[in-house]
Chains A and B, each alone.
Chain A
Amino acid sequence: MTSVILRRVLSTIPVMAIVALFVFSLLYIAPGDPAAVIAGDQASPEDVEKIRQGLGLDRPYLVRFVEWVFQILHGDLGTSIFTNMPVTTLIAQRVEPTLSLMLMTLVMAVAVAVPMGVIAAWKADTWIDRAAMGFAVFGFSTPVFVVGYLIAYVFALKLGWFPVQGYQPIARGVGPWLSSLILPSVTLAFVYIALIARITRAAMLDVLSQDYIRTAKAKGVGQRAILFVHALKNAAVPIVTVIGIGVALLIGGAVVTESVFAIPGLGRLIVDAILRRDYPVIQGVVLLFSLVYVLVNLGVDLVYTLVDPRIRY
């Protein structure tokens, strides 16, 4: 068992290598001259040349890639063109808000979406199901920032229940921290809930039509136990999978949500970096987020073995 887990863990290494290769190669496949784009329209040829050298674009591709990988393995993600600070330092300053936001969203979304999908499947083709799935389609169709403004307008501006913007570090107390996170998390959870609820419903519908559910009913098992004991555990694999895949949505959404609610997290860092064309920072944040995504999905694979006794690696 442990050797199997170890093998699965090791298999993330080639995936991360390809992520790195890809993020690195963007500099080369991007149409036009990235150095000129990054330097901006007012830059002198010397400035462009300096940036080109800074990015290593003047040296051969492979040589530069190997160097870059070595740097990363030593914990060096390069230097910001704009602030001249190490990218790792910039990232470290911004981790807490983003991590708080994503964890809170994750908990909230799973707590809402799974019961919602289960109930929609149970009440399939009734108005409850249609309302839940209508909400899900709506959630897919509304960009995160629209949801954010709508929620902020109602609950912060009109009702005044929560702060409109800003983030309170957890060091200043759990109360303010939570209150500053609620609206952003609800915003970010919207599309994630839609995704998880839809898959949960589909997986549950599939399971509820199985013979063993009929067996459970024939034993006199009550509706709630049928749904949550007999069915949900069987539907868990697709649900856990989509929770993992949805983390990609969560990451993309965090970038936008942090802008809407002025949260000084990694998302803001990358948005500011775009405006300044600070590619090393963008590269660093993309790599970090991809690593998070890969690790989450590694975790998901390991969870499979817990929920389904038939799966053995």
Chain B
Amino acid sequence: MPLLEVDRLQTHFRTPDGVNRAVDGVSFSVDRGETLAVVGESGCGKSVTAMSIMRLIAEPPGKSAGEIRFEGRDLLKLPEREMRKIRGAAISMIFQEPMTSLNPVLKIGRQIGESMRLHQGLDRGQAEAKAVEMLTLVGIPEPKRRSGEYPHQLSGGMRQRVMIAMALACSPKLLIADEPTTALDVTIQAQILDLMRDLKVRVGAAILIITHDLGVVAEVADRVVVMYAGRKVEEAPVRQLFAKPRHPYTRGLLAAVPRLGSSLGGRPGRLAEIPGIVPSLKTKIEGCVFASRCPEVEEVCLRFAPALEAKAAGHLAACHHAVRGREEAA
């Protein structure tokens, strides 16, 4: 049994001008100890997916449907009380903005110790001591002094380390990292990724990493889910995805990555881009969601939404063209 199974997750929001189908029928699973990356452009629903797993979608205006099974239990059906016991303990989360994700008026040590007091029943003194340990673990110098400081006294990279310490405090089984390096300097990005990889092994957690950065994907992921306009369009082991992307959108994404030497899509030295814009999610889309921007669009694509189909072992893609491509090859 996988650790986490997301099954036909839909998360919609009511807005003044219609229902926004931010996530519309996304399924994937995460195994124990595995690192799964969810990639896509901003607005594709990847962060909403993460928030839905944590059940942190404000309701109203949002609402989730489908199933999110964590160790066999459907999180969407748990009472809030039970869900609270899971958050920060079995599943924890790191956010994109280290500058704003820490509470400015509470001391670092207290913020790290809080989840241990909540979930492991430690008293204040024990929790503070554990917090100092965690700070040491994430490589913060002078952990004792730092734990008595406030977030504004720390740099961005340090704060993200604090966030990681906080997330790992209760040795979670699943760590959800939503763009953990996006707001950081490039040099610090690498340090943070190294730290996450290192700690993942030590704690034995699975990681669900949300990112738009394919460089990060290549660095840390075992498997990759590609999302577009609220749907999953492709899923594959990381090497296979980079070597042989099946969905035209994934090919476009890879081509858009600046790279030295060879490039997959565009001409060398030139950065390819995907023409067009992401369709509005406030109206129901007939046919394939990517049809409006797809270079290989055909008439059937405009009429029938493609189902996800296995292309190769563990490699799924939702594209009529890719499916027929297989038949032709056979």
Please give the residue numbers on chain A whose beta carbons come within 8 Å of chain B beta carbons, in ascending order. Answer: 210-212, 214-222, 229-230, 233-234, 307-310
Contacts and interface: CB of A to CB of B under 8 A. Distances in A.
Nearest to B100: A211
Given A215-B93, A310-B104, A310-B150, 6 more contacts: A211-B100, A214-B101, A215-B102, A219-B88, A220-B89, A229-B106
Given A307-B105, A310-B152, A218 B88 contact: yes
- The 10 A-B pairs with the shortest beta carbon distances in the complex, nearest first, are A219-B88, A220-B88, A220-B87, A211-B100, A212-B103, A218-B93, A219-B115, A309-B150, A211-B101, A233-B105
Contacts of B92: 218-219
Contact of A218 (B54, B85, B104): B54
Nearest to B99: A211
Given A219-B92, A219-B166, A234 B104 contact: yes
Contacts of A233: 105-106
B309 interface: no
A234 B150 CA distance: 13
A215 B100 CA distance: 10
7 contacts: A218-B88, A218-B92, A218-B95, A219-B88, A222-B84, A310-B104, A310-B152
Contact of B104 (A212, A217, A222): A212
B56 A211 contact: no
B257 interface: no
Contacts of A234: 103-105
A234 B86 CA distance: 26
Contact of B56 (A214, A307, A309): A214
A217 B91 CA distance: 12
B213 interface: no
A101 to B, nearest CB: 33
B97 interface: yes
Contacts of A210: 100
Contacts of B89: 220
A185 to B, nearest CB: 31
A270 B71 CA distance: 73
